[in-house]
Structure 1
Amino acid sequence: MSRKTLYELQAENVRKTYLFIVTFSLILFAIGYFFVWYFNWGLTGIVLLAIFIVLYNWIAYEQSDKIALASVGAIPANPEEYYVLHNIVE
């Protein structure tokens, strides 16, 4: 069994991310559709539900890096103090 390259791991992460987004969207849609059906909101409810799901996924995708960094208490590395790390990244 050979080790995966960085590009293979990146492609796998992208596939998993898309799968997660689609699965979560379908779950949200199923729950939302139940409420649309129960309260008889009709097409307006479905359109609002679709807009909500798109906005939720877009905001989650755009803010996910900040959420992940905040969850572990990450802070920016000082360039003078951590010169080697900045040199490696750049």
Structure 2
Amino acid sequence: MSVSQFYQKFKSAVGMGPMQCQKRLRLTEARRLMLDEGRNVTEASAEVGYESLSQFIRDYRRMLGAAPKEDVLSLRRRLEK
């Protein structure tokens, strides 16, 4: 199977490309670490493999719709209700 065929099949099955899927998995794991294990933004970003905190925050905001700290605070408020 060629790279382009793999990409097309992956995107058809998952709804996004492999790199975008990997990024989403890393960011949702960082979200879980902050919510469930009390990690701060810097710790969570490093734990999921980001070397640049600013890149992590930029990717997080683009993928999940809010900055990490704001997102986690909002989710905690909703879970407490």
Q: TM exceeds 0.5?
A: no
> For the superposition of Structure 1 and Structure 2, which TM-score range results when normalised by the shorter chain?
0.3 to 0.5
Output the TM-score relative to the length of structure 2. 0.35
Radius of gyration: which is bigger? 1
